[in-house]
Amino acid sequence: MKQLTSIQRIGGWTLTELMMAAGISGVLVTGLLVGAASIQRSYFASRHHVDSQAQQMRMMDFMNLDLRRALSVTTESEKLVVRIPDFYGNDGAPRDPQIVRGQAIYGTTPRTVEYYREGSAIFRKEGDVRTELATEVSDFKLAFKDLGQSIMVSVTFLPKFQFSGSKAESVREGTATFSTTLLRNKRQG
Amino acid sequence: MRSKSNNLGSILVMALFFTAILAMAGAITFGVIQNRYRQVHQTASWQEALLAAEAGIDIAVNEMRKQLFDPDNAWKSWSKAADPEGTEQITEANPTDGEVYYTSNVLLRKGEGGQRSYSKIAVDAPPFLIDRSGEQWYRVRSLGVAEVPGGAVAAGDKVDLRLRKFEHRVDRRTGEALSKSQATRLIEAIVKPVGTFRVALFGARTINLNNHNIEVDSYDSRDDDKSTNGFYDPNKRTENGDVATNGTLIQAGDAHIYGDAATNGGTVLDSSNVTGEIRNDFYQELFAVNRPKVNPDPFTPSTIKGTETILAKPGQPSQYLFNEINLSGSETLKIEGSGDGTPTYAQIVVTGDISMSGQAKIEVGEGVYLRIFVAGNVDITGNGINNPNSPLNLQLYGLDRPTNPDGSPQSPGEMKIGGNGGFRGTVYAPMYDVEMVGGGTTNPDKSVYGAFVGWTVRMTGVQAVHYDEALTDGGLVADYKVVSWFEDVR
């Protein structure tokens, strides 16, 4: 009898106890799932932010490299056209410059480098060679400002987490990167 | 008891399982963060390498400037060997003797990126970089090197690494083994000498244009769009007829200045007809004009006091040393060239005064390049100097004079440029009061073509000054300037 009583005490779950346990477990699991989903969203948003910043940095560095050595620059809304010296010969080695009208000239015709967006990607095109600098950048915005002897470039993107989602421009301000590059060859003359 | 043991085991397994998941998530996150962290530092090092390379260009240009202002110390610690270990010091040579090399001191810093950077510089002066006036340009190749922290691991995407090249074990340019990772960037710059005539009118202390009918404009004898047959064309004039002073005052006199008017923190008075900028940030270094060492050619006169003909010759200039030049009546000093207009050269040093009056004149032959250095005063009236060539062919220099502690001349010389025939030439006399006496703006034969530098510059009467932009490449070398800049990304 003692054994029987003991067994009954161990295995004796009432319906109320089971329902309460199930309810508490449900709340905990729901919280866990919601929390996990939030962490995941946060992780991907952070990842997007970091990747976007890396792409920003890459585009800036590419553009600044060409702008520094530019002979002339033209800017449109989201297109940058840079003309650089024809520094390399057909064998890929640097040419010797020649003095023409008081300036040092490499080759005969300057090379043209373009930066532009096509679809959701941003490209650098030098001659016929096109390089994809950034992909999935539909939320990126490029802007150029010609300051005469220097060019200002800004790149912004829309972050995944937005506290004021309806005001995209104000959100962009938080992700804006600016760079002002002195056109070294503008000092010619 | 068995049943209880099984339950405890499940909990342990579950705990390990969830711990493993958390550890994996942490490890992935850490991996991503570390990669980006490393990329930030490597990118910073890559940027520092550019700063080091540009610093190398500055170091090289500084040596070129030493050639002008401190020639005894120019290129002193440079080597003829590219390997910094094999330091073969040269003390009296420059890049015209062959390529020279220098490795800068190591710059130490704290912060993102590497903490050590330096530049390796090579300078040469090849024959194809000699301009039409015979001046040597220089090619500078500066390699900026910055150490990369964080181990020999490349961070970033493929496109990043195509842009930012890092060397972890082997120097990609020399093939040498490396003990530390590094970022390198190579810049090739072309540096050209800058002449003394960078603006149309330059008064070290003041400029005074006292007539609103005066015109100062520019043309470019090198460019058919800005000149006709190399000569000034009023229909093609450009607006680089700048006037400038190291002092604080330009009296523009409402003159028509087709260019900028610039002071050193001062004021431009009566500037209503200045088409360019009014600036107050101007300063130009002046250098003393020392008397050249002249060994007069045999059988040449020692003074000019009447009609005389002297010769200019190809190659090295003819040398003349005169006590004075004093012409009156219809006396003429003729500097004769080859006759067919091919370039010939002559250099005259006058230890006393130059004065001309009546119908006297100095005639410069076609193709003659003439430099006159004068120690005394100059009064060029009469029929003036007839130079049928470019303004650069006639260069008149006022020799240095004793100065006060503030650099001003104790007793400025007097240089008066006038004459019935206008003037086509250049004047560099920072220790002189230069006065230009006009003969009207409408007659191109009575205009002034060239550039003028004086302690003070004053224009009297109505006249026009047409500045030839080609003068920036001529005259004595006063400075060096980077005119081409290219980053070699190989």
Q: Could you read off the pLDDT of B225-263 as tens digits, one per residue? A: 999 988 899 899 999 999 999 999 999 889 999 999 999
With 0.80 as the threshold, say if the pTM is over it: no
Tell me the residues of chain A between 115 and 144 that have a Cβ less than 8 Å away from chain B: 131-133
3-state secondary structure of A130: strand
3-state secondary structure of B43: helix
Instruction: Provide the mean pLDDT of chain B.
Output: 87
Parallel/antiparallel/unpaired status of strands B166-167 and B413-417: unpaired
Give chain B's residues under pLDDT 50.
1, 86
Provide the pLDDT confidence category of residue A189 given band limits of 50, 70 and 90. Answer: very low
**Contact at CB, B39 and A54, closer than 8 angstroms:** yes
Q: Compute the distance between CA of residue B277 and CA of residue B373 in angstroms, rounded to an integer.
A: 34
Q: Compute the distance between CA of residue B45 and CA of residue B51 in angstroms, rounded to an integer.
A: 10
- Which residues of A are less than 8 Å from B472 in CB distance? 102, 189
For residue B208, report the phi and psi dihedrals to the nearest 5 degrees: -130, 110
Q: Compute the distance between CA of residue B213 and CA of residue A42 in angstroms, rounded to an integer.
A: 74
- The CA dihedral of B31, B36, B42, B46, to the nearest 10 degrees, is 160
Provide the pLDDT confidence category of residue A14 given band limits of 50, 70 and 90. Answer: confident
Domain ranges of chain B: 37-195+480-488, 201-476
Q: Where do we find the tokens 């001046």?
A: B135
Amino acid B256: pLDDT: 92
3-state SS string over B265-282?
Answer: CCEEECCCCECCCEECEC
Q: Compute the distance between CA of residue A161 and CA of residue B358 in angstroms, rounded to an integer.
A: 89
pLDDT tens track for B109-140 = 766 666 788 999 999 999 999 887 778 899 99
**Contact at CB, A61 and B156, closer than 8 angstroms:** no
List residues of chain B with CB under 8 Å from any CB of chain A: 29, 32, 36, 39, 43, 46, 126, 128-132, 137, 139, 156-157, 159-160, 162-164, 188, 190, 192, 222-223, 470, 472-473, 481-490
In single-letter form, the type of residue at position B236 comes to: K
**Contact at CB, B160 and A101, closer than 8 angstroms:** no
Among A87-96, A140-149, B307-316, where is mean pLDDT lowest? Answer: A140-149
Amino acid B114: pLDDT: 65
Q: What is the DSSP letter of B63?
A: H
- Which residues of A are less than 8 Å from B190 in CB distance? 97, 104
pLDDT average, residue stretch A111-121 = 90
Q: What is the DSSP letter of A93?
A: S
**Contact at CB, A106 and B489, closer than 8 angstroms:** no
Which tokens sit at A109? 């015709």
Tell me the residues of chain A between 84 and 103 that have a Cβ less than 8 Å away from chain B: 84-85, 87, 92, 94, 96-99, 101-103
- Which residues of B are less than 8 Å from A43 in CB distance? 29
The ipTM (two decimal places) reads: 0.81
For residue B71, report the phi and psi dihedrals to the nearest 5 degrees: -60, -25
Q: Compute the distance between CA of residue B251 and CA of residue B106 in angstroms, rounded to an integer.
A: 50
Amino acid A6: pLDDT: 52
Q: How far is the alpha carbon of A18 from chain B, nearest alpha carbon, in Å?
A: 19
Cβ atoms B466, B424 nearer than 8 A = no
Q: Using alpha carbons, list the distances in angstroms from residue B396 to B133, B393, B422, B426.
A: 17, 10, 15, 6
Cβ atoms B121, B140 nearer than 8 A = yes
For residue A88, report the phi and psi dihedrals to the nearest 5 degrees: -100, 135
Amino acid B441: pLDDT: 56
- How far is the first Cα of chain B from the last one, in angstroms, to the nearest whole number? 74
Percent of chain B with pLDDT over 70: 92
Q: Among residues B191, B195, B165, which one has the least CA distance to residue B57?
A: B191
Q: Compute the distance between CA of residue B465 and CA of residue B219 in angstroms, rounded to an integer.
A: 11
Q: What is the DSSP letter of B404?
A: -
